[in-house]
Chain A
């Protein structure tokens, strides 16, 4: 093990170096650029065997990843914001062609107005594309998630999108415990594709025209693969704990055991929420927090279990789903709790375009929950937090 000081982007590049993928197709976009720059340096210095394709757009980045993955290679890339949006068409193709591509997303707001800072509009917009989505809180998790993602993708036969917060994680230098190269190599093993396009002796047709007589069966298979991925994520997390000492599951709880009030967040805000919970506990308020790590597949049973004793829940969404009843996480958590919990569930849309969220904001959220719990009344189910 090595202790390194790295920002999130460099940690992604470092993990990619250890993974040594066959092909990386990359394109610069803030706040992801450092990762592909750093990886290009590894290529230039001969530290990886990777064929690095510096494409002319994100659409081509994902297209080249699809071509390379269908060919039988281990394939990676990373992107953010508009780059992910530009790939949107190809995200679906990658997933339904069942290609185990790994792409880190450094979450950033979408235009307009143009903004380079963090929110989750980009990856949440891709939540139905068939990619497994894992959200990391800090640089260490960013590093750990990338390595696990390779194994998850290849076991599930689905692409994986590990995400973390742009700038807050991508550009913040933190202490990282990096595994030895050999450990990473052994953990991910050798990838063997079932039907590589490059096997010219056994020609295969990838991406045929699929009508109403078969299309739905193929979608059902994808549906089942995504369901099966839940256990794979858990198993890979346990296996990773053995080599790293750090445990990973679909979610993690903070003081939820005896809590009546719960705050749910993903990404870096989960840390702020824990701090706020601790401060409120000192004031005698019985709060806890839940950090959701896995968003796709959605671990609804784990969520039900974790929240079974709470009376009021605040779901923190770092993006809006305009016109919907709350943000994407809110809708799914309410749905997961339907008929299994009497808790009131409210939604806070916060941190858009990098708007800072502090412990004070979350302490206010916990106070609101406390009012709801004591009065049984909800003033507003969905509200913006930290807006003027």
Chain B
């Protein structure tokens, strides 16, 4: 557990004054992740909102060494950095401990970047990959990705008069990464910062590839007020839409609120509590498309049952 008092004393690695939107979850997550280690960190960043809004030349918000090269290759770029670190350490040209992190959105991770991520994970580079899952291509204007939830309206899966938004359920990337049998895989939410920072801290302490998938509400894309980001990121967990769990050396473990829900110590909220806060789902509350909500609920219940079993419940 980390105390807020301790966190407030940490040196900021991402300066304020960047141009991300009000209510964007990404800088919150970056600060939470980077506060989890006192060692120097080097970051690679996929093309996307975070990259664009934090490095408008000649300004930069990054107080740590940072590299962006393209969209689909945050993993292979940091792999090159880490490879260079390993050889220079071996040659005695660098003697200190350095941590490596790759930041990317769901488009750069679930879709176009999955090959580079999978490759870097399989090769065993010592890095932490953090996916900000805002469930669509937000930087280009809210297009659907393979992380977009079923029923969500995006600009390439718009809710129309015959199609109710995105027709498919998202792929389960956390499970795909767990299937790589890398030392550490976790899901987190910025609403539960203690859980997220603890996971990042654990990830930084482990050698080898680590993957964290973090839900990242986007007021523009999800159509919610900017002051609801944290509340929604909590609702995602409380409805079991986005369970908090970790897979450490192939051992599954629920954490935080998700653990309490599994143990019956906390109520599992119905998905409607999550959906109703977001404009991207508003068509699901019309007569024509209201049958979609039970379908979503049923999928969540089924996935939650499978995950609970894996975690020994």
Contacts and interface: CB of A to CB of B under 8 A. Distances in A.
Interface string A67-87: 111111101000000000000
Nearest to A217: B57
A208 B68 contact: yes
B192 interface: no
A73 B86 CA distance: 11
Interface string B252-282: 0000000000000000000000000000000
A56 B68 CA distance: 20
Given A65-B80, A198-B94, A23 B68 contact: no
Interface string B73-107: 10111111111111110110010101000000000
A71 B115 contact: no
A49 B84 CA distance: 11
Contact of A67 (B63, B81, B87, B94): B81
Given A56-B118, A68-B80, A93 B70 contact: yes
Contacts, number: 165
B63 to A, nearest CB: 6
A380 B118 CA distance: 53
A384 to B, nearest CB: 37
Interface stretch (B48-56, B155-163, B206-214, B241-249): B48-56
A359 to B, nearest CB: 45
Interface in B98-157: 98, 115-116, 118-120, 122-123
A57 B65 CA distance: 26
B84 A23 contact: yes
B42 interface: yes
Given A67-B79, A205-B60, A59 B68 contact: no
B289 interface: no
B119 A55 contact: yes
B83 A206 contact: no
B17 interface: no
A90 B74 CA distance: 12
A220 to B, nearest CB: 15
B64 interface: yes
Given A60-B116, A67-B84, A93-B70, A203 B76 contact: no
A72 B81 CA distance: 9
Given A197-B42, A200-B40, A207 B68 contact: yes
Nearest to A204: B65
Contacts of A322: none
Contacts of A59: 72-73, 76, 115-116
Given A57-B115, A198-B88, A207 B80 contact: no
Contacts of A73: 83-84, 87-88
B69 A63 contact: yes
Contact of B55 (A75, A97, A208): A208
B35 interface: no
Contacts of A53: 79-80, 83, 123
A199 B65 CA distance: 8
Interface in A173-213: 197-200, 203-211
A202 B221 CA distance: 36
Contacts of B75: 60
A22 interface: yes
A60 B73 contact: yes
Contacts of B69: 63, 66-67, 90, 93, 97, 206-207
A54 interface: yes
Contacts of B72: 59
Given A49-B91, A67-B44, A205 B66 contact: yes
Contacts of B68: 206-208
Given A71-B84, A197-B42, A197-B67, A208 B57 contact: yes
A358 B70 CA distance: 44
B289 to A, nearest CB: 38
Contacts of A211: 56-57
B62 interface: yes
Interface string B284-312: 00000000000000000000000000000
B88 to A, nearest CB: 7
Contact of B42 (A50, A97, A198): A198
Given A198-B42, A203-B65, A208-B56, A63 B84 contact: no
Contact of A197 (B56, B65, B70, B120): B65
A234 to B, nearest CB: 31
Give 9 nearest A-B pairs by CB, closest first.
A67-B80, A56-B119, A64-B80, A208-B55, A60-B76, A71-B84, A207-B68, A200-B40, A63-B73
Interface of B: 40, 42, 44, 51-52, 55-58, 60, 62-70, 72-73, 75-88, 90-91, 94, 96, 98, 115-116, 118-120, 122-123
18 contacts: A23-B83, A25-B83, A49-B90, A56-B119, A57-B116, A59-B72, A67-B69, A67-B78, A67-B80, A67-B83, A71-B81, A90-B73, A200-B64, A200-B98, A203-B62, A207-B55, A208-B56, A209-B51
